[in-house]
Structure 1
Amino acid sequence: MVRSRRVQVRRVYDPADEEADGSRVLVDRIWPRGLSKEAAALDEWCKDVAPSTGLRTWYGHDPARFEEFTRRYRTELRDEPHTAALQHLRELSRHGTLTLLTATRDRDISAAAVLRDVLTKD
């Protein structure tokens, strides 16, 4: 029996919830400004799954570009080192709740939201 995966997106600046978060993985390429590693309370930092610098810069978290960003990012996820990092996240999600952490203000239009959809719907 395949278990339904619970993958959620939270801001890395929000306090950790030990009971609900499960594995906490930062999925941004750049370390969050003004946050210590202790305060982040994460289990790991998976930079290799983050969008390329060029794609991230082009996107700039512009809501009007989110649909195209999603398409381009999903294309990037098919290439190394993204594929190995994505597989690692899939493995983590098979063992319990996976919380994808991002510094992005609007989680709904973030790379982490795209990753959540890839991990739960693909």
Structure 2
Amino acid sequence: MSVRVRRIYDPPEPDDGVRVLVDRLWPRGVAKDAAHVDEWPKGLTPSAELRRWYHAGEGSFEEFAERYEAELAAPEAAELVDHVRKLAREGDVTLVTASKSPDKGHASVLLRLLDRA
């Protein structure tokens, strides 16, 4: 079993497993049937305040990651993280995002958190 991150604009692959959209808003220009998204847990996404802070360039990626992990420790978000962990124990999971740089965004922080357990 594995968890990986891919851009939602890339075509789905047979080994994606369960595709989990980890963005709060539906990506522009992507038809829902073409995206092949199996789950969309909006509670896993960073808060609007944290997103605005990070995209305004006010802090480093490391500080963003710390703040986002703190948000993911809240009960509702932690429950969703556990759910994705359960999916990963049962098979492959692909976290999909519209981010232009998934390696410097919230999906990579979530992936790192999921890999710890």
Separation in 1 of the partners of 2:96 and 2:113? 15
5+ residue gaps, structure 1: none
How high is the TM-score relative to the length of structure 2? Answer: 0.93
Please tell me the root mean square deviation across aligned C-alpha atoms, in Å: 1.4
1:11 to 7, 10, 34: 7
User: Which stretches of structure 1, 4 residues or more, deviate above 6 A after TM superposition?
Assistant: none
After TM superposition, the structure 1 = structure 2 runs for residues 39-50 of structure 1, keeping only pairs within 5 Å, are 39-50=34-45
After TM superposition, the structure 1 = structure 2 runs for residues 107-122 of structure 1, keeping only pairs within 5 Å, are 107-122=102-117
5+ residue gaps, structure 2: none
What SS does structure 2 have at the residue aligned with 1:100?
strand
Separation in 1 of the partners of 2:39 and 2:62? 28
How many angstroms does 1:61 deviate by? Answer: 7.8
Letter in 1 for 2:9: Y
Deviations 1:52-77 (A, max 9, x none): 11101111185x62111000001111
Q: Is the 8 A contact 1:61 1:109 kept in 2?
A: no
What SS does structure 2 have at the residue aligned with 1:101?
strand
Percent identity over paired residues: 47
How high is the TM-score relative to the length of structure 1? Answer: 0.89
How many angstroms does 1:36 deviate by? Answer: 1.2
After TM superposition, the structure 1 = structure 2 runs for residues 15-54 of structure 1, keeping only pairs within 5 Å, are 15-18=11-14, 20-54=15-49
Separation in 2 of the partners of 1:51 and 1:61? 14
Structure 2 vs 1, CA of residues 22 and 61 (structure 1 numbering), >3 Å: closer, same or farther? farther
Letter in 1 for 2:11: P
Separation in 2 of the partners of 1:103 and 1:81? 23
Letter in 2 for 1:116: L
Q: Which residue of 2 aligns with 1:99?
A: 94
